[in-house]
Amino acid sequence: MITRRDVLSAAAAAFAATHISPQARGQPIARTGHILTGFTPGLQDALARLVAGQMSGYAETLVVEPRPGAGGRIAVEAVKGADADGSVMLFAPLGFMMFFPHVYKTLRYHPRDFTPVSTVASTPTLLTVGPRVPADVTTLADFVAWCQANPKHATFGSPGAGTTLHFLGAMLGRTAGFDFLHVPYQGGGAIQDLVKGVIAATVMPIGSSLGLVQSGDLRALATTGPRRCPFVPAVPTVREAGYPSLEDLTWFAFFVPAKTPAPIVDKLNAAIQAALRTDEVKAGMTKLAVEPDAIAMEDFARLIASESDRWKAIVEATGFVPTD
C-alpha cells in the first residue's frame, strides 16, 4: 500500500524529469482551456493561476474559474459533466476524492469519474496557539498538558466542520486523552479569533498563520508533514512530538473527466511538469508557502486509494456522522 512517505522519493523523481512524450508535443488541445476551482479566491485559486500561467502549449488561453459552493462540490460536478476532450479541468485538494466520500451521505460524483493527472504542490498543516494559552507553553506536550488541566479552554478552530483539519484536531484530542472542542470558521476567521484569544489553537494550512508565527504573535507547536517544513524549520513534526498518526499533507492536483483520451492526459501532464520546473512557479509557490510536489501518475491513483482508506478509518473513529 502506498503511503505519504512512499511518494516523497517518487515525487522528487517526477519533478526532476524532463522527458516529454511525443503525444504531449504538437498543437494546443483547444483555443481556450478552463480550470475550475471549488472555492472563492484564495490559496487554491492563486496556485491554479500560478501554474496555469506557465503551461504554455497546452491551450491558446487558460482561464481559471472559481465555482464556489457546496464545500467545493459544485466545481467537481461541473467537471464530471464536461466534455472529455481536455478543455475542462478540475484543480482541487486531494480531499475532494479521498475524503469527501466519507463525510457526505450523498455525492453526485465518484473518484472513478475522474482521471488524476498530476499533483502540483503540497503543504503541511500547522498547529498554532495564541495568547489564550500561557507563554510558557512552547511544545505540543506542554499544550496537551495544559488542555488536560484546563478543559474549558481546550478549543481549536479550523476552516469548517467535516474538513481534514477538523479531524486532525479531533484525533489529537482523542489520541492524547482530552476533549478538544472544535470551533468551525469560514475563511480566515479562525486566525483572527486566535490572535484575539477567543480560541486556544488553530489547525490550519501553514500559510494562514505563517506571518504571525514569524512575527512572534502566534506560536507554532507542530507541523503535520513527514519532514520539517522549510518555512518554519525550527518547528517539530507531529511524529517528532510523539503523534505520528497525525502526519498529513494537503496536496493540490489536476483532474480531468474519466474518459479523456490518454494522449490528452499525457499532454496536460507534460505541460504541468514543465510549468513546475520554471523559476516563476518555484518563486510563486514560496510566496504562497507551499512546496512543488509532483507525484508520478502511476502512483497518484494508488495514493488516493490508500489515503481514502486511511481517512475512512479516522472519520469512523471520531464518531462523525456524515452530512448531506
HSE value, Cβ hemisphere, 13 Å, CA-based, for 117: 30
> End-to-end CA distance of the chain, in Å?
31
Distance CA 178, CA 195 (A): 23
Model confidence over 214-246: pLDDT tens digits? 999 999 999 999 999 999 999 999 999 999 999
pLDDT value at residue 23: 40
Burial annotation 126-153 (CB, 10 A radius, 16+ → b, else e):
bbbbbebbeeebeebebbbebbeeeeee
**Which is nearest to 129 in space by CA: 219, 204, 198?**
219
Residues with Cβ within 8 Å of residue 131, at least 6 apart in sequence: 195, 197
| Contact indicator for 158, 204 with CB cutoff of 8 Å | yes
Out of 10-14, 84-88, 121-125, 131-135, least confident range: 10-14
pLDDT averaged over every residue in the chain: 89
Q: What would the mean pLDDT of 154-166 be, rounded to a whole number?
A: 91
User: The pTM is what?
Assistant: 0.84
Does the pLDDT value for residue 104 go beyond 50?
yes
Q: Which domains does the chain have, with CATH numbers?
A: 6-123+251-318 (3.40.190.150), 124-246 (3.40.190.10)
Any idea which residue has 494546443 for its cell? 28
Q: Across residues 84-108, what is the average pLDDT?
A: 92
Cα separation of 159 and 97, whole Å?
18
Mean pLDDT, to the nearest integer, of 171-180? 96
Work out the burial of residue 293: count CB atoms within 10 Å of its CB; fewer than 13 is exposed, 13-18 middle, 19 or more buried: buried
The candidate with the shortest Cα–Cα distance to 207, out of 111, 316, 126, is: 126
Q: Which of 250, 302, 249, 300 is nearest to 273 (CA)?
A: 300
pLDDT score of 1 more than 70:
no
